[in-house]
Chains A and B, each alone.
Chain A
């Protein structure tokens, strides 16, 4: 009996290992539900649809986007989104419009999480930064232009 369960378990793990080795399952997809489609999108609209399921967001003063007007170094552009003025914030997404993949980051909130996120982004050139917030089932956005004097994606 014991031997039988042992064999079964061995077979199951063996099959997973084979799948990983064959590249069918990238370790990525096993560990996390990273939104691969959204992070492969080439336009803001595509990215928004992949993250939120819709791309029609209303401009709102309650989405407070803080980004520098002039960034001396495009490799480190601090961006802060504060949506705590809105009720029931579910998620925030930040787009750098002209980056190869505009979607830079998303944050989803639950429980004790407050609608606020602050990160530093890379930007290759002068462009708009757009923050999209989903609150109470609706989409809100704010936009800010960042002038980049030295690009951040040069190699």
Chain B
């Protein structure tokens, strides 16, 4: 169970805050083959991303392997400056990562 590292940023969009996350992950679908050996690369992708604002659930994203390598995710939340947003991700292999950012 390795850690998934990612970056998190919040931006004020006027009526809501936009939270952007950039994950570092190969997002292997499980169907891609190694051309030289013919072996299938085993599936390894982030399949769940959850966001909490001040501890209350705000968004749950579920992904398939169709999301690009090193995925980018943007979502919007309402709130005020200083609110804490916590984003966690989990992969199909059980790897996970958590980061927090303050709305500003």
Contact of B51 among A31, A96, A113, A123 (CB under 8 A): A113
Known contacts: A105-B63, A112-B78, A117-B61. The answer to whether A153 contacts B32 by CB under 8 A is yes
The size bracket of the interface on B is 35 or more
Checking A27, A103, A106, A122 against B61 with a beta-carbon cut-off of 8 angstroms, the contacting residue is: A106
In the complex where A114-B77, A118-B75, A119-B71 touch, is A108 in contact with B59 (Cβ < 8 A)? yes
Q: Residue of B at shortest CB range from A92? A: B61
Q: Chain B residues near A153 (CB, 8 Å)? A: 29, 31-32
**Residue B74 is within 8 A (CB to CB) of chain A in the complex:** yes
A67: interface (CB < 8 Å): no
Tell me if A84 is interfacial: C-beta within 8 Å of chain B.
yes
Mark interface residues in B21-61 (1 if CB within 8 Å of A CB, else 0): 00000010101111100000100000110010100111111
B54 to chain A, nearest CB (A): 8
- Residues of chain A with a CB closer than 8 A to B33's CB: 155
On whether the beta carbons of B48 and A34 are closer than 8 Å, the reply is yes
Q: Quick check: B58 and A109 within 8 Å, CB to CB?
A: yes
CA distance A100 to B30 in the complex (A): 12
Known A-B contacts A28-B94, A31-B94, A112-B58; the reply to A121 vs B47 at CB < 8 A is: no
Q: Is the CB of B47 within 8 A of A34?
A: yes
Residues facing A in B54-104 (CB within 8 A) are: 56-69, 71-79, 83, 90, 92-94, 96
> Is A21's beta carbon under 8 Å from chain B?
no
Chain A residues, Cβ within 8 Å of B60: 107-108, 110
Most buried by B among A75, A78, A111, A155: A111
Other contacts beyond A84-B16, A99-B66: 13, CB < 8 A: A28-B47, A34-B92, A101-B66, A107-B59, A107-B60, A112-B56, A113-B51, A113-B53, A116-B18, A117-B61, A117-B75, A152-B68, A155-B41
Cross-chain pairs A/B with CB under 8 angstroms, 18 sampled: A31-B94, A31-B96, A32-B48, A34-B48, A38-B62, A39-B64, A80-B74, A100-B31, A104-B64, A105-B62, A111-B53, A113-B53, A114-B16, A116-B16, A117-B73, A153-B29, A155-B32, A155-B34
